[in-house]
Structure 1
Amino acid sequence: MDDISTGILFALLACLIVISGYFSGSETGMMALNRYRLKHLANTGHKGAKRVEKLLDRPDRLIGLILIGNNLVNILASAIATILGMRLFGDLGVAIATGVLTLVILVFAEVTPKTLAALYPEKVSYTSSILLSILMKVLSPLVLLVNFITNGFIRLLGIKADHNGEDHLSSEELRTVVNEAGSLIPRRHQDMLISILDLEHVTVNDIMVPRNEITGIDINDDWKSIVRQLTHSPHGRVVLYRDQIDEVVGMLRLRESYRLMLEKNESTKETLLRAADEVYFIPESTPLNVQLLKFQRNKERIGLIVDEYGDIIGLITLEDILEEIVGEFTTSIAPSLSDEISPQGDGSFLIEGSANIRDINKGLKWTLPTDGPRTLNGLILEHLEDIPESHLSVQVSGHPMEIVELEENRIKLVKVFPRLKTK
């Protein structure tokens, strides 16, 4: 080195610092990449993404290559800096060279390139992967040796170095990804994706039409009453039963019943029975994602929900499940949220006691508890632990509530105020 001029040594030192910055930035850029975007780009044929994905298949080898190159460069730079320091300042130059080189490497070979790589990981990674791929082939014997020693030491510590595992997202992690998508996914689409993820946490009990609200026709009624119900029914299918809903006969298709009446010119109860389909029963607490697949597999659109004793407790349709994903339809059997909630001038809301708590929370952005009763009436009764005999005011989950109207043994109408702010 004594024969090399000082100017050449300075130039060589500068080149080494640049190379060190390249390795540092490459490492940060590779590790900061969005792996799922990388996989998507690689699948679409992006050459840079394919190179990076291949390098990241064995991250231990990639890190080994980068650290080998970075350490070799930094050690050589330290040696040259020491020579330059001694030439310029004598024995004191060793300390000066160490201090100056440390600061220069920190600023220009570590912090600056790593910050830029963290801000622009794709640009840095796709570009640097060209040289890294070549170096991986050239230095592969040295990289393999270093990794063999390193992995052996890791195994001695009782840690398994498994490189074959794939990254998988849980539903909660996927929910976070959707929420963090921002303007990349329209808000409406984000809500639909989140609703799909929620299907596994919601059961048929949560969205069913309760037993007392099921529209049905008693086949034992007189014919005029049956015709009147057929004429005024807003639904395409209704439950056909004898005397009580538990004695269900079938699901009557109104269009089919009208067709049979016109074709055969007969209007009898037997005609209705021929137009009724077999009843499709659904066990209570079936998750919505499971029931959606069952509707599809069995080619059904409507079913009656039964409890463990076989008693009918409610009704659910395919449209009810789809509403959980895309929002309300106008053809739903259940009343819409706008029919059950009426905003008041004082900031409160008049809410039907039969309103579903989940629907209230979704519509008003509230957090009423959903791990117990499913209706507002049930929530208040659980809180009171009694059936109120007169109008009274309570506070449930921070919401002041005033019972406005009672009907027999249930609360029909409640005035609910927004949650009280806690200091």
Structure 2
Amino acid sequence: MTVSFDPSLWLTAAAILALLLVSAFFSGSETALTAASRGKLKAQADKGDKGAEVALEVKEDGERLIGAILLGNNVANILSASLATALFSRLFGANGVAVATLVMTALVLVFAEVLPKTYAITMPETAAARVARPIRLLIRVLSPIVSVVRALVRGMLSLFGVRADPDSHILSFRDEIMGALAIGHSEGTVDKEERDRLLGALDLHERTVEEIMLHRSQIEMIDADAAPDAILRSVLASPHTRLPLYRGERDNVVGVIHAKDLLRAVEKLVRGEDGNLSSIRDLDIMSIAKPPYFVPETTPLDEQMREFLKRRTHFALVVDEYGDLRGLITLEDIIEEIVGEIADEFDTDPEHPIKRTESGDYIVDGAMTIRDLNRALDWNLPDDEANTVAGLVIHEAQMIPNEGQVFSFHGYRFEVLSRKENRITRLKIRPL
């Protein structure tokens, strides 16, 4: 069978190649604009990259973006397949349809799908900035058709009880950052310390003062009615700069004494005209004490940190809904949730709360918070029912265990090593 290669065949072949290029452009644009990070595009736009700025604008309405690209891509693919069928039918007769299907499948797969999408996924922000302007023009041109298609799709989805909201995001920015940190750590590009610091900052709004406060049983307090020289000795012997003052009972906090304020008052008395060491007995401790600052135990940590900075204070007493004293919290406690433990020369307990034995078990202080244990060892013990490791054991056991008792839950083995009154002070933990 002889076929004359007239100009129409060459025009058809050229049209097919042009449509494949258009399809490749749409495929690459779709991948680039959907995979490009908003954060990276914003950083590029802030540096003056107009393409990145347009890309951000285009990504605002993801539903309209995808609709316009898919519409153009499908028109290009269908039209190229139709022209290829006509072309190969003229060349091969009845076998033309089969040949056209094989050839176009290979061409579309390699040159219109895999190749452009591989390029786009390799450098999504760069590709997105390059294609943003023509895609924005395409969206404006096809806007009426896309609107009709979108309304039709939403109507069909509503029949199945599905509501499409273009303003909602499947993952919040916080979840995206946490996922990126987890991937970076698993791949070795993000250190554990860096990951913990960033996650600690992200978690502040989800955690409350109650979770990290120093419990009232561990608060060092001073009796406001004690002799001034005894108060001075207690303040100088304490590793803390600020100490609560109570009167009568420990729940009745009447002020907070700062070591520097006390020393200034003592220096003023001693250096006075009739001043000497015995003048300290005349010191009125309440005249130099600051009023106590109380906060609810349910206050989120990020809000409490803002309050500390706003009030220019670092110390607060925590109360429950009945106004009873529960503990205290400092700005340092909140910062430690981000950067980890902060130790200085006045810390009296340098012993690490976690020790590993030769057998692979971990000796843990019962008062250690579950969050700190998880961060230190990359574990995933739940902290929704208890704040401390001892509290978790008591909650799961539904009792106060005795020394030597062993429990297994959440994939770990817990052995009570020591107990003081009703408090579990030391545990041995091993992953199962």
Report TM bin, short chain. 0.7 to 0.9
Q: 2:428 aligns with which of 383, 406, 416?
A: 416
Tell me the equivalent position of 1:219.
224
Is 1:230 matched up with 2:235? yes
Instruction: Name the structure 2 match of 1:391.
Output: 403
Contact kept, 8 Å, 1:209 with 1:333, in 2: the verdict is no
| Residues 1:275 and 2:288 aligned together | yes
| 1:181-200 equivalences in 2 (<5 Å) | 187-200=192-205
Does the residue aligned with 1:314 lie in a helix, a strand or coil?
A: strand
> Which 10-residue stretch deviates more, 236-245 or 176-185?
176-185
Stretch of structure 1 that moved more, 190-199 or 391-400: 391-400
> How far off its partner does 1:385 sit?
4.7
Contact 1:320/1:332 (<8 A) preserved: no
How far is the alpha carbon of 1:262 from its aligned partner? Answer: 1.5
In structure 2, distance between residues paired with 1:99 and 1:346:
63
Is 1:241 aligned to 2:246, yes or no? Answer: yes
Q: State which drifts further: 206-215 or 341-350.
A: 341-350
Displacement of 1:280 in angstroms is 1.0
C-alpha spacing 1:39/1:3, structure 2 compared with 1 (3 Å): same
1:399 Cα deviation after fit = 4.1
Counterpart pick for 1:52 among 45, 55, 77:
55
Q: Structure 1, residues 22-80: CA drift from partner, whole Å, max 9, x if none?
A: 33333333333223322332233213223433444555665565456545544554454
8 Å CA contact retained: 1:304, 1:314? yes
Answer yes or no: is the 8 Å Cα contact 1:82–1:98 preserved in 2. Answer: yes
Deviations 1:80-99 (A, max 9, x none): 43454344333443443344
Q: How does 1:16-31 map to 2 (within 5 A)?
A: 16-31=19-34
2:259 maps to amino acid: L
- Check the 8 A contact 2:397/2:407 in 1, yes or no: no
Change (3 A) 1:215 1:339: farther
Q: Select 2:311's aligned residue among 267, 287, 298.
A: 298
Pick from 88, 93, 97: which aligns with 1:85? 88
- Number of residues paired by the alignment? 414
Separation in 2, partners of 1:381, 1:92: 78
Q: In 1, are the aligned partners of 2:404 and 2:415 still within 8 Å (CA)? A: yes
Equivalent residue in structure 2 for 1:109, among 103, 107, 112: 112
Partner residue in 1 for 2:420: 407
Aligned partner letter, 2:197: M
SS in structure 2 at match of 1:251: strand
Q: How far did 1:386 drift?
A: 4.7
Q: Distance in 2 between matches of 1:295 and 1:127?
A: 47
Q: Which residue is 1:260 aligned to?
A: 265
Equivalent position amino acid for 2:145 in 1: V
CA distance in structure 1 between the partners assigned to 2:301 and 2:196 by the alignment = 17
Quick check: 2:366–2:427 contact (8 Å CA) kept in 1? no
**Identical aligned pairs, as a percentage?**
35
* 1:180–1:43 Cα change, 3 Å: farther
Task: Determine helix, strand or coil for the equivalent of 1:113.
Answer: helix
Question: In structure 2, what is the equivalent of residue 146 of structure 1?
Answer: 145
One-letter amino acid of the counterpart of residue 49, structure 1: A
Q: Structure 2 counterpart of 1:264, which letter?
A: L
Q: Retained in 1: the 8 A contact 2:239–2:347?
A: no
Unpaired runs of 5+ residues, structure 1, are none
> Which residue pairs with 1:316 in the alignment?
329
Opposite residue 291 of structure 1, the aligned amino acid is: Q
CA RMSD of aligned residues (A): 3.7
**Alpha-carbon distance change, 157 to 243 in structure 1, aligned in 2, over 3 angstroms:** same
Which amino acid in 2 is paired with 1:172? D
1:354 aligned residue: 367
- Amino acid in structure 2 at the alignment position of 1:304: L
- Paired amino acid for 1:361: N
* Corresponding position of 2:175: 172
| Distance in 2, Cα, partners of 1:162 & 1:231 | 62
Which residue in the other structure is 2:338 paired with? Answer: 325
